[in-house]
Chain A
Amino acid sequence: MIARGAFRLPDEQEKALVRAWRLEWIWLGVLLSITVAIYFALGNSQAMKTAWIEDLLSFVPPIAFLVATAVERREPNDRFPLGYIRVTSIAYLIAAVSIAAVGLFLIYDAAMVLIRQEHPTIGTVEIFGVTFWFGWLMIAALVYSVVPPVVFGRLKMRQARPLHDKVLWADAVMNKADWMTGLAAVVGVIGIGFGFWWADAVAALLIALDVLHDGFEHTRAAIHDLMDRVPRTIDDKETDPIQTCVKEVAEALPWVETVSVRLREEGRFLAGVVYVTPRSDTVDAQWVTEGEQKLRDAHWRLLRISLVPVADLERAEGE
């Protein structure tokens, strides 16, 4: 009933996965360069520490993605007879928690500045004999740090949808947090320039609340996935329509009378049981095998579907 051996993806998904891999490797390099740029632009030690911790957390989702997609491909064996496909769900949880951690950390940091009433001091810098306000250099570095996450976030989302890859999706959400905090910092530095010492902290706080909200929602979604919640679309907006499709395919089988579908997410795939009541008193094992094959052919995500004929749906559901 359950197919053994590593899974195979359709061509479109294979291509998307290769692109996503390439994207994440390039992104790691870009992220490193942003980290270095911020390091040189932020002389102040406190601001430095904040940027550092945030950058380190930004490394978590792409690494989680690369590790998970590599592990996921392993062949099932005696120790892991069902394979490794659920590693993606765990990677999603890790990525989601790291987003929430960024939000929490930013809130803590901004709140401390406001509580202690720390007035940020930004002096001057001399480059090629010209003296200008250091804030301009900080803004330049921040603008550089904002552009790549916008571009990469969009590219990642484009690959995440066909792959139904929530880790990649979470990484794109982290990119949104990256560029939004960068933008908030630009506004904050300009605000400081206009004499509002609290500008940077307030801008950061507003964005941090949004980041925390995203992190919280995704952490909840990841935990629910691990608790076998009904599969939902990748943006977590609605129940995945694939379930209706499964029901229709099962109902179209000539020997099937009524159908009840129980699906759960296992990484990017779906697994579960389709209970059916047969029209006749006996069921040929060949029918079941063929029915399962039909279901698997209906969508690539339907990897582990069991077709279970029962005499009484209500008794089967009450098990």
Chain B
Amino acid sequence: MRFPKITRFKLPAVLALLFLVLTACDEVAFPRDPDGTLDRVEATGRVRVAAVDHRPWVIWNGRRSPGGAEVRLAEAFARELGATVEWRRASAFDALEALKRGDVDLAVGGFTREEITLHGGAASTYGYFTEALVVAARPGGPIPAELDGEEVVSPLDRMTDSLIEDVGGVPIAGEAAAASLVALPDWEIPAHGLVPTGIELHRSEHVMAVPRGENAWVDRLERFLRRNGHRLGELLREEGS
């Protein structure tokens, strides 16, 4: 059995040097894309983005380009690269399939990490925005610490109904404006003039979807999101109102 000497002393030194060279010099592109997405976007000035209708993340109003909070983020990212966005309207499944085939460079539309993992053909960015589905109350009214048969307005879907039942509430249909307790995403609370109760129903990590293995592209996008992703809550409120 041979134990080459390099593993003992030289390897960490070589790696440390490589790390310094590759992180310090901007001219050395690292990491790189196997399919050259970042280079192509910068060379052609075009980003192909699939946008999935999902208010207020992505809003298609019959026009040629969509609006919405994530659409504005994607456009800001494209501007940073000196590129313009070529929008494609798609369902969530078609958007991820397009990424898998390499037909688009990015997909937005309020994706959660689970959705991307489940599909398996695309990669996700880090979870740059955490959305909590919470129960909010009217200010001045009673704020329950936990639910015990209280009625909660559930304006969203059946999924929310069952989450409300899980914590002991009774889901009812109705307008958020009239109710004393409402289930809604945490970023919507200020817009409705409500106060949080501290009761959380669900938590999801929102990501953007990218082609698998395009590591320079992901790297660039994630660096952008780490600087600008925190604006999303504000953008969602603007677009939602």
Binding site for B on A (CB under 8 A): 45, 118-126, 131-133, 135-136, 139, 143, 146-147, 150, 153-154, 157, 172-173, 176, 179, 183, 186, 190, 192-197
Whether B226 pairs with A126 at a CB distance below 8 angstroms is yes
> How would you classify the secondary structure of chain A's contact residues: helix, strand, loop or mixed?
helix
Binding site for A on B (CB under 8 A): 1, 3, 7-8, 11-12, 15, 18-19, 22-23, 30-34, 117, 123, 125-126, 210-216, 218-219, 222-223, 226
Among B3, B22, B117, B219, the residue within 8 A (CB) of A124 is B219
Bound: A196/B218 CA distance, A? 15
Task: Using A124-B222, A153-B3 as known contacts, say yes or no to A193 and B117 having CB atoms under 8 A apart.
Answer: no
Complex contacts, A153 vs chain B, CB 8 Å: 1, 3
Whether A132 pairs with B23 at a CB distance below 8 angstroms is yes
**Nearest-CB distance from B111 to chain A (Å)?**
15
Complex contacts, A196 vs chain B, CB 8 Å: 34
Bound: A139/B126 CA distance, A? 19
Whether B123 pairs with A121 at a CB distance below 8 angstroms is yes
Task: Using A119-B212, A132-B23 as known contacts, say yes or no to A193 and B15 having CB atoms under 8 A apart.
Answer: no
Complex contacts, B123 vs chain A, CB 8 Å: 121, 123
Complex contacts, A150 vs chain B, CB 8 Å: 3, 7-8
From B3, B33, B210, B223, residue with most partner A Cβ within 10 Å: B3
Complex contacts, B117 vs chain A, CB 8 Å: 45
Among B3, B15, B213, the residue within 8 A (CB) of A197 is B213
Q: List 30 A-B contacts (CB under 8 A).
A: A45-B117, A119-B212, A121-B210, A121-B218, A122-B215, A122-B218, A123-B123, A123-B215, A123-B219, A124-B219, A131-B222, A131-B226, A133-B215, A135-B215, A139-B15, A146-B7, A147-B7, A157-B1, A172-B1, A183-B7, A183-B11, A186-B11, A192-B31, A192-B215, A193-B32, A195-B33, A195-B34, A195-B216, A196-B34, A197-B34
Bound: A68/B207 CA distance, A? 51
Whether A176 pairs with B7 at a CB distance below 8 angstroms is no
